[in-house]
Amino acid sequence: MLSVSSCKNRDHLREMDVQFSKEVIERLAAAQSVAVLTGAGISAESGVPTFRGEDGIWNKLKPEELASMDAFLKNPDLVWQWYQYRRELMNDIEPNPGHYVLAEMESDYDDFTLSTQNIDGLHIRAKSQRVLELHGNILRNRCNTCGKLTDENFPGDNVARCQCGGLIRPDVVWFGEMLPQEPLYDSFAAAERADVYLSIGTSAVVQPAASLPLEAKHQGAYVVEINLERTEISAMVDESYLGTAGTLLPELYRLVKEERTRENKD
Ligand code: BJW
Ligand code: ZN
Protein backbone atom coordinates (compact mmCIF):
# COMPACT_ATOMS: atom_id res chain seq x y z
CA MET A 1 0.00 0.00 0.00
CA LEU A 2 1.23 3.50 -0.66
CA SER A 3 2.02 5.49 2.40
CA VAL A 4 1.29 9.14 2.87
CA SER A 5 3.85 11.81 3.40
CA SER A 6 3.79 15.54 3.41
CA CYS A 7 5.87 16.94 0.56
CA LYS A 8 5.52 19.91 -1.72
CA ASN A 9 7.10 20.74 -5.05
CA ARG A 10 8.69 17.35 -5.23
CA ASP A 11 8.85 15.02 -8.19
CA HIS A 12 8.16 11.41 -7.47
CA LEU A 13 10.52 9.47 -9.59
CA ARG A 14 9.35 5.88 -9.58
CA GLU A 15 5.69 5.18 -9.97
CA MET A 16 5.62 2.29 -7.52
CA ASP A 17 7.27 4.51 -4.92
CA VAL A 18 4.93 7.44 -5.42
CA GLN A 19 3.67 8.81 -2.16
CA PHE A 20 0.85 11.28 -2.41
CA SER A 21 1.21 14.11 0.04
CA LYS A 22 -1.15 14.45 2.97
CA GLU A 23 -1.90 17.91 1.66
CA VAL A 24 -3.20 16.85 -1.77
CA ILE A 25 -5.32 14.09 -0.22
CA GLU A 26 -6.81 16.40 2.39
CA ARG A 27 -7.39 19.21 -0.06
CA LEU A 28 -9.18 16.90 -2.51
CA ALA A 29 -11.22 15.39 0.31
CA ALA A 30 -12.34 18.85 1.47
CA ALA A 31 -12.66 20.56 -1.94
CA GLN A 32 -15.95 22.12 -2.95
CA SER A 33 -14.81 22.78 -6.50
CA VAL A 34 -12.47 20.62 -8.57
CA ALA A 35 -11.41 21.18 -12.16
CA VAL A 36 -9.30 19.00 -14.42
CA LEU A 37 -7.45 19.41 -17.72
CA THR A 38 -6.52 16.25 -19.59
CA GLY A 39 -4.23 15.75 -22.56
CA ALA A 40 -3.07 12.93 -24.80
CA GLY A 41 -1.22 11.21 -21.94
CA ILE A 42 -4.43 10.06 -20.28
CA SER A 43 -5.37 8.14 -23.43
CA ALA A 44 -1.87 6.74 -24.04
CA GLU A 45 -2.67 3.70 -21.90
CA SER A 46 -5.73 3.09 -24.10
CA GLY A 47 -3.42 2.90 -27.11
CA VAL A 48 -3.89 6.39 -28.55
CA PRO A 49 -0.50 7.82 -29.57
CA THR A 50 0.54 11.10 -27.95
CA PHE A 51 1.74 14.05 -30.05
CA ARG A 52 4.96 14.92 -28.29
CA GLY A 53 7.35 13.00 -26.06
CA GLU A 54 9.21 9.77 -26.74
CA ASP A 55 6.52 7.96 -28.74
CA GLY A 56 4.79 11.10 -30.01
CA ILE A 57 3.41 11.01 -33.57
CA TRP A 58 4.91 14.42 -34.23
CA ASN A 59 8.43 13.14 -33.80
CA LYS A 60 7.94 11.81 -37.32
CA LEU A 61 5.48 14.31 -38.80
CA LYS A 62 5.31 18.08 -38.70
CA PRO A 63 2.08 19.32 -37.12
CA GLU A 64 1.77 22.34 -39.35
CA GLU A 65 1.86 20.07 -42.40
CA LEU A 66 -1.23 18.19 -41.24
CA ALA A 67 -3.08 20.04 -38.51
CA SER A 68 -3.70 23.40 -40.15
CA MET A 69 -6.07 24.97 -42.64
CA ASP A 70 -3.15 25.77 -44.94
CA ALA A 71 -2.23 22.08 -45.07
CA PHE A 72 -5.84 21.08 -45.71
CA LEU A 73 -6.32 23.54 -48.54
CA LYS A 74 -2.97 22.62 -50.08
CA ASN A 75 -3.58 18.87 -49.99
CA PRO A 76 -7.06 17.95 -48.70
CA ASP A 77 -6.72 14.25 -49.55
CA LEU A 78 -3.48 13.90 -47.59
CA VAL A 79 -4.93 15.56 -44.50
CA TRP A 80 -8.13 13.52 -44.90
CA GLN A 81 -6.08 10.28 -45.08
CA TRP A 82 -4.18 11.25 -41.94
CA TYR A 83 -7.42 11.60 -40.02
CA GLN A 84 -8.92 8.43 -41.55
CA TYR A 85 -5.80 6.58 -40.39
CA ARG A 86 -6.16 7.96 -36.87
CA ARG A 87 -9.85 7.10 -36.80
CA GLU A 88 -8.90 3.54 -37.68
CA LEU A 89 -6.40 3.49 -34.82
CA MET A 90 -9.24 4.48 -32.53
CA ASN A 91 -11.60 1.71 -33.63
CA ASP A 92 -10.50 -0.79 -31.03
CA ILE A 93 -9.67 1.44 -28.10
CA GLU A 94 -11.40 1.53 -24.73
CA PRO A 95 -11.28 4.01 -21.85
CA ASN A 96 -8.79 3.13 -19.10
CA PRO A 97 -8.93 3.52 -15.29
CA GLY A 98 -7.80 7.16 -15.59
CA HIS A 99 -10.88 8.05 -17.64
CA TYR A 100 -13.18 6.04 -15.37
CA VAL A 101 -12.00 7.60 -12.12
CA LEU A 102 -12.66 11.09 -13.50
CA ALA A 103 -16.24 10.03 -14.28
CA GLU A 104 -16.55 8.78 -10.70
CA MET A 105 -15.18 12.06 -9.33
CA GLU A 106 -17.71 14.00 -11.38
CA SER A 107 -20.54 12.24 -9.59
CA ASP A 108 -18.96 12.74 -6.14
CA TYR A 109 -18.33 16.52 -6.34
CA ASP A 110 -21.08 19.12 -6.63
CA ASP A 111 -18.81 21.35 -8.70
CA PHE A 112 -16.56 19.33 -10.99
CA THR A 113 -15.38 20.41 -14.43
CA LEU A 114 -13.53 18.22 -16.90
CA SER A 115 -11.84 20.00 -19.78
CA THR A 116 -10.00 17.91 -22.33
CA GLN A 117 -7.72 18.65 -25.25
CA ASN A 118 -8.34 15.13 -26.50
CA ILE A 119 -10.40 14.47 -29.58
CA ASP A 120 -10.85 10.73 -29.00
CA GLY A 121 -14.18 10.82 -27.13
CA LEU A 122 -12.88 8.44 -24.42
CA HIS A 123 -14.10 10.57 -21.49
CA ILE A 124 -17.61 10.42 -22.89
CA ARG A 125 -17.34 6.68 -23.39
CA ALA A 126 -16.16 6.38 -19.76
CA LYS A 127 -19.49 8.05 -18.85
CA SER A 128 -18.31 11.49 -17.83
CA GLN A 129 -21.54 13.45 -18.20
CA ARG A 130 -20.11 16.86 -19.03
CA VAL A 131 -16.91 16.99 -21.04
CA LEU A 132 -15.60 20.31 -22.30
CA GLU A 133 -13.90 19.27 -25.53
CA LEU A 134 -11.53 22.13 -26.27
CA HIS A 135 -10.05 20.73 -29.49
CA GLY A 136 -13.17 19.10 -30.94
CA ASN A 137 -13.85 15.43 -31.65
CA ILE A 138 -12.35 13.31 -34.42
CA LEU A 139 -15.53 11.23 -34.69
CA ARG A 140 -17.45 14.27 -35.98
CA ASN A 141 -17.04 15.99 -39.32
CA ARG A 142 -18.08 19.37 -40.57
CA CYS A 143 -18.32 21.13 -43.87
CA ASN A 144 -15.50 23.57 -44.45
CA THR A 145 -17.85 25.87 -46.38
CA CYS A 146 -21.31 25.84 -44.77
CA GLY A 147 -20.16 24.59 -41.34
CA LYS A 148 -22.79 21.84 -41.15
CA LEU A 149 -21.86 19.27 -38.48
CA THR A 150 -22.33 15.57 -39.06
CA ASP A 151 -21.67 12.26 -37.28
CA GLU A 152 -21.78 10.55 -40.67
CA ASN A 153 -18.83 8.33 -41.40
CA PHE A 154 -17.29 8.98 -44.83
CA PRO A 155 -15.20 5.95 -45.84
CA GLY A 156 -12.38 6.21 -48.32
CA ASP A 157 -9.10 7.95 -48.86
CA ASN A 158 -10.42 10.92 -50.80
CA VAL A 159 -11.84 13.88 -48.97
CA ALA A 160 -15.64 13.80 -48.95
CA ARG A 161 -17.83 16.68 -50.14
CA CYS A 162 -20.90 18.24 -48.55
CA GLN A 163 -24.18 18.69 -50.43
CA CYS A 164 -23.19 22.36 -50.78
CA GLY A 165 -20.01 21.31 -52.61
CA GLY A 166 -17.68 22.23 -49.72
CA LEU A 167 -14.90 19.98 -48.44
CA ILE A 168 -15.66 17.81 -45.41
CA ARG A 169 -13.11 18.11 -42.62
CA PRO A 170 -12.80 16.57 -39.14
CA ASP A 171 -14.42 18.69 -36.44
CA VAL A 172 -11.14 19.30 -34.63
CA VAL A 173 -9.26 22.52 -33.86
CA TRP A 174 -6.20 23.09 -35.98
CA PHE A 175 -3.32 25.45 -35.27
CA GLY A 176 -4.31 29.04 -35.87
CA GLU A 177 -8.01 28.29 -35.32
CA MET A 178 -10.13 29.57 -32.46
CA LEU A 179 -11.23 27.09 -29.81
CA PRO A 180 -15.00 26.60 -29.40
CA GLN A 181 -16.15 29.58 -27.36
CA GLU A 182 -18.46 28.03 -24.79
CA PRO A 183 -16.23 25.15 -23.59
CA LEU A 184 -13.28 27.53 -23.47
CA TYR A 185 -15.19 30.11 -21.45
CA ASP A 186 -16.53 27.43 -19.07
CA SER A 187 -13.04 25.95 -18.66
CA PHE A 188 -11.54 29.27 -17.60
CA ALA A 189 -14.48 29.98 -15.28
CA ALA A 190 -13.97 26.56 -13.65
CA ALA A 191 -10.22 27.18 -13.31
CA GLU A 192 -10.95 30.48 -11.60
CA ARG A 193 -13.22 28.99 -8.93
CA ALA A 194 -11.43 25.66 -8.40
CA ASP A 195 -10.08 24.75 -4.96
CA VAL A 196 -8.01 21.99 -6.56
CA TYR A 197 -6.94 21.85 -10.20
CA LEU A 198 -5.52 18.68 -11.79
CA SER A 199 -3.41 18.77 -14.96
CA ILE A 200 -3.19 15.23 -16.31
CA GLY A 201 -1.10 13.87 -19.18
CA THR A 202 -0.55 17.09 -21.06
CA SER A 203 2.76 18.62 -22.15
CA ALA A 204 1.10 22.00 -21.47
CA VAL A 205 2.61 23.70 -24.50
CA VAL A 206 -0.44 24.32 -26.67
CA GLN A 207 -2.31 27.54 -25.95
CA PRO A 208 -4.78 28.57 -24.73
CA ALA A 209 -5.49 25.26 -22.93
CA ALA A 210 -2.02 25.25 -21.38
CA SER A 211 -2.89 28.44 -19.49
CA LEU A 212 -5.74 26.80 -17.57
CA PRO A 213 -3.69 25.24 -14.73
CA LEU A 214 -1.69 28.45 -14.36
CA GLU A 215 -4.82 30.57 -14.30
CA ALA A 216 -6.19 28.27 -11.59
CA LYS A 217 -2.97 28.69 -9.63
CA HIS A 218 -3.12 32.46 -10.05
CA GLN A 219 -6.66 32.45 -8.63
CA GLY A 220 -5.63 30.44 -5.57
CA ALA A 221 -6.24 26.81 -6.52
CA TYR A 222 -3.95 24.03 -5.35
CA VAL A 223 -2.58 22.74 -8.65
CA VAL A 224 -1.40 19.17 -9.08
CA GLU A 225 0.12 17.61 -12.16
CA ILE A 226 0.36 13.94 -13.13
CA ASN A 227 2.62 13.17 -16.09
CA LEU A 228 5.25 10.69 -17.17
CA GLU A 229 7.78 13.48 -17.32
CA ARG A 230 8.32 17.08 -16.28
CA THR A 231 6.49 19.66 -18.38
CA GLU A 232 6.52 23.37 -19.09
CA ILE A 233 4.43 23.97 -15.98
CA SER A 234 6.01 21.54 -13.51
CA ALA A 235 8.01 24.23 -11.77
CA MET A 236 4.94 26.41 -11.34
CA VAL A 237 2.44 23.96 -9.91
CA ASP A 238 2.14 22.92 -6.26
CA GLU A 239 2.89 19.26 -6.80
CA SER A 240 4.07 17.23 -9.75
CA TYR A 241 3.76 13.45 -9.73
CA LEU A 242 5.69 11.44 -12.29
CA GLY A 243 3.96 8.29 -13.48
CA THR A 244 1.10 6.99 -15.57
CA ALA A 245 -2.29 8.61 -15.19
CA GLY A 246 -4.09 5.26 -15.37
CA THR A 247 -2.33 4.10 -12.20
CA LEU A 248 -1.73 7.26 -10.21
CA LEU A 249 -5.10 8.95 -10.60
CA PRO A 250 -7.18 5.99 -9.33
CA GLU A 251 -4.73 5.51 -6.47
CA LEU A 252 -4.93 9.17 -5.51
CA TYR A 253 -8.71 9.10 -5.51
CA ARG A 254 -8.77 5.87 -3.50
CA LEU A 255 -6.78 7.68 -0.79
CA VAL A 256 -9.13 10.67 -0.99
CA LYS A 257 -12.16 8.43 -0.41
CA GLU A 258 -10.38 6.79 2.53
CA GLU A 259 -9.72 10.22 3.98
CA ARG A 260 -13.39 11.20 3.61
CA THR A 261 -14.48 8.04 5.40
CA ARG A 262 -12.01 8.75 8.21
CA GLU A 263 -13.29 12.32 8.56
CA ASN A 264 -16.91 11.16 8.69
CA LYS A 265 -16.09 8.72 11.50
CA ASP A 266 -14.29 11.36 13.59
C1 BJW B 1 1.53 10.56 -19.91
C2 BJW B 1 1.32 9.24 -20.20
C3 BJW B 1 0.65 8.50 -19.24
C4 BJW B 1 2.33 10.05 -21.87
N5 BJW B 1 0.24 9.10 -18.13
N6 BJW B 1 1.14 11.13 -18.79
C7 BJW B 1 3.18 31.23 -29.09
C8 BJW B 1 2.69 31.48 -27.84
C9 BJW B 1 1.40 31.20 -27.53
C10 BJW B 1 0.55 30.64 -28.47
C11 BJW B 1 1.04 30.39 -29.71
C12 BJW B 1 2.32 30.70 -30.02
N13 BJW B 1 2.51 30.34 -31.32
C14 BJW B 1 1.37 29.82 -31.81
C15 BJW B 1 0.46 29.85 -30.85
C16 BJW B 1 -0.88 29.38 -30.93
C17 BJW B 1 -0.97 27.87 -30.97
C18 BJW B 1 0.00 27.23 -29.98
O19 BJW B 1 -0.27 27.10 -28.80
N20 BJW B 1 1.14 26.78 -30.44
C21 BJW B 1 2.18 26.23 -29.57
C22 BJW B 1 2.59 24.84 -30.05
C23 BJW B 1 3.30 27.19 -29.50
N24 BJW B 1 -2.33 27.59 -30.58
C25 BJW B 1 -3.32 27.61 -31.49
O26 BJW B 1 -3.12 27.83 -32.66
C27 BJW B 1 -4.71 27.40 -30.94
N28 BJW B 1 -5.58 28.43 -31.37
C29 BJW B 1 -5.39 29.68 -31.02
O30 BJW B 1 -4.46 30.05 -30.33
O31 BJW B 1 -6.37 30.52 -31.49
C32 BJW B 1 -6.20 31.92 -31.30
C33 BJW B 1 -5.45 32.45 -32.48
C34 BJW B 1 -5.95 32.26 -33.73
C35 BJW B 1 -5.29 32.79 -34.80
C36 BJW B 1 -4.09 33.47 -34.61
C37 BJW B 1 -3.57 33.61 -33.34
C38 BJW B 1 -4.27 33.11 -32.25
C39 BJW B 1 -5.27 26.09 -31.48
C40 BJW B 1 -4.53 24.92 -30.96
C41 BJW B 1 -5.12 23.64 -31.56
C42 BJW B 1 -4.29 22.43 -31.21
N43 BJW B 1 -4.73 21.34 -31.97
C44 BJW B 1 -4.09 20.04 -31.78
C45 BJW B 1 -4.44 19.13 -32.98
C46 BJW B 1 -5.88 18.66 -32.89
C47 BJW B 1 -6.26 17.85 -34.08
C48 BJW B 1 -5.49 16.57 -34.20
O49 BJW B 1 -5.47 15.75 -33.26
O50 BJW B 1 -4.90 16.34 -35.24
O51 BJW B 1 -4.50 19.46 -30.54
S52 BJW B 1 -2.34 20.18 -31.57
C53 BJW B 1 -2.18 18.82 -30.45
O54 BJW B 1 -1.59 19.32 -29.22
C55 BJW B 1 -3.61 18.40 -30.12
C56 BJW B 1 -3.56 18.31 -28.61
O57 BJW B 1 -4.85 18.43 -28.06
C58 BJW B 1 -2.63 19.41 -28.23
C59 BJW B 1 -2.04 19.29 -26.87
O60 BJW B 1 -1.24 18.17 -26.76
P61 BJW B 1 -1.23 17.32 -25.42
O62 BJW B 1 -2.55 16.76 -25.14
O63 BJW B 1 -0.59 18.09 -24.35
O64 BJW B 1 -0.33 16.07 -25.87
P65 BJW B 1 1.26 15.94 -25.94
O66 BJW B 1 1.55 14.80 -26.82
O67 BJW B 1 1.90 17.22 -26.24
O68 BJW B 1 1.65 15.57 -24.43
C69 BJW B 1 1.30 14.34 -23.86
C70 BJW B 1 1.87 14.29 -22.46
O71 BJW B 1 1.44 13.11 -21.83
C72 BJW B 1 3.42 14.28 -22.42
O73 BJW B 1 3.83 15.30 -21.54
C74 BJW B 1 3.77 12.89 -21.88
O75 BJW B 1 4.88 12.91 -20.99
C76 BJW B 1 2.52 12.54 -21.12
N77 BJW B 1 2.21 11.12 -21.04
N78 BJW B 1 1.88 8.99 -21.49
C79 BJW B 1 0.54 10.43 -17.95
N80 BJW B 1 0.42 7.18 -19.46
ZN1 ZN C 1 -21.60 22.44 -46.78
pLDDT score for 4: 25
- Is the same domain home to 229 and 117? yes
Residues in the chain: 266
- Is the same domain home to 83 and 118? no
- Is the same domain home to 11 and 76? no
Residue with CA closest to ligand 1 atom 12: 207
Residues with Cβ within 8 Å of 233's Cβ and at least 6 positions away in sequence, in order, are 199, 204, 210, 213, 214, 225
- Is the same domain home to 86 and 68? yes
Tell me if residue 12 is catalytic: no
pLDDT score for 45: 97
Please list the rounded mean pLDDT of every run of 10 residues in the chain (266 residues): 31 66 98 98 96 80 86 95 92 96 98 98 98 97 97 93 97 98 98 98 98 98 97 97 98 98 87
pLDDT score for 15: 59
pLDDT score for 1: 22
Domain range for residue 160?
49-92+138-172
pLDDT score for 2: 26
- Is the same domain home to 125 and 253? yes
Q: What is the CATH number of the domain that holds 4?
A: 3.40.50.1220
Q: What is the three-state SS of 148-203?
A: CEECCCCCCCCCCECCCCCEEEEEECCECCCCCHHHHHHHHHHHHHCCEEEEECCC
pTM over the 0.85 mark:
yes
Of 145, 10, 181, 156, nearest to 72 by C-alpha is: 145
Q: Is 13 in the pocket of ligand 1 (CB under 6 A)?
A: no
Residue with CA closest to ligand 1 atom 59: 206
- Is the same domain home to 242 and 222? yes
- Is the same domain home to 121 and 63? no
Instruction: Give how many domains the chain has, as a whole number.
Output: 2
- Is the same domain home to 39 and 109? yes
Q: What is the CATH number of the domain that holds 77?
A: 3.30.1600.10
